[in-house]
Amino acid sequence: MGWLENTVALVTGPGSGLGRAVVERFVAEGASVGALEISPEKAEALKVEFGERVEVLVGDATQFADNDRAVAQTVERFGRLDVFVGNAGLWDFGTPLEALQPGAISQAFDELFALNVKGYLLGAKAAAPALRSTNGSMVFTVSNAGFWPGGGGPLYTASKHAVVGLIKQLAYELAPEIRVNGVAPGGMRSDLRGPPALGLADTSWGSLDVEQIVPAYSALGRTPDTADYTGHYVLLASRENSLTVTGSVHICDGGFGFRRAS
């Protein structure tokens, strides 16, 4: 018997990378899952792989109407909502301040913060009524960049610090009915993309030399797969195993903050 039997979750950004791994692990742990995915192709692939266990919706996490529709359709399909996982995001590929073109900063900021921060806020707003009725929880994907410099450029790092603040504020506001927590992974093999304003919409994190980059920023010296982080989401989604936890972020970045000098 899995940790998430009789649990219904909604995950944003589930089409690839960490989001897809979370969906796969939740299903393996017994959950039924709603999945809000912007790519029709990735959405179709989710339907093919998971069938009746996953309710797939094509929509944009930066739009409240799509988040609201995802919540409603998940509840209609499975009868309730126990967990909202805000996961959809963009990375700035570590673009430093001095490399940012002045004319691109505003648009890149808007694109990145719209998904990494506003998308979580809109998802939380849409999910809160359903979660309050089940004494459910929210879990947001943070990053090592939410705590340490060097995990991205100023745009990404600022956005992930904002997510940490969002978690704390929502945990304060939504208690005691709804628990709100986060997971802060490090680097991994994934298809994470960047903001179009920086010309990074078609650039994948996986296209870089991940096997060399990630161990250099990890005290553990290894390159995790996306599945290696999913246990933290399961733990925080499980009432039985995290009933007393709210306002916390599980830092599981391989020791990014105290990595050894190369």
Q: List the catalytic residue out of 156, 217, 229, 233.
A: 156
The residues, ordered by sequence, that sit 6+ positions from 101 with a Cβ below 8 Å of its Cβ are: none
Active site residue 233: no
The encoded tokens of residue 260 equal 């050894």
**What are the CA-CA distances from residue 4 to residues 31, 86, 105, 217, 249 (Å)?**
5, 18, 42, 33, 20
Q: Does residue 30 contact residue 2 with C-beta atoms inside 8 Å?
A: yes
- What is residue 211's three-state secondary structure? helix
**Sign, Cα dihedral of 101, 106, 112, 116:** positive
The sheet with strand 249-252 has its strands ordered as 54-58, 32-37, 8-12, 83-86, 137-141, 179-185, 249-252
CA-based nearest residue to 85, from 3, 160, 164, 10: 10
The encoded tokens of residue 152 equal 């991205």
Secondary structure, 3-state, 106-165: HHHHHHHHHHHHHHHHHHHHHHHHHHHHHCCEEEEECCHHHCCCCCCCHHHHHHHHHHHH
CA-based nearest residue to 65, from 138, 125, 140: 125
Task: Give backbone dihedrals phi and psi of 181, rounded to 5 degrees, phi first.
Answer: -140, 175
- What is residue 101's three-state secondary structure? coil
The residues annotated as belonging to the active site are 156
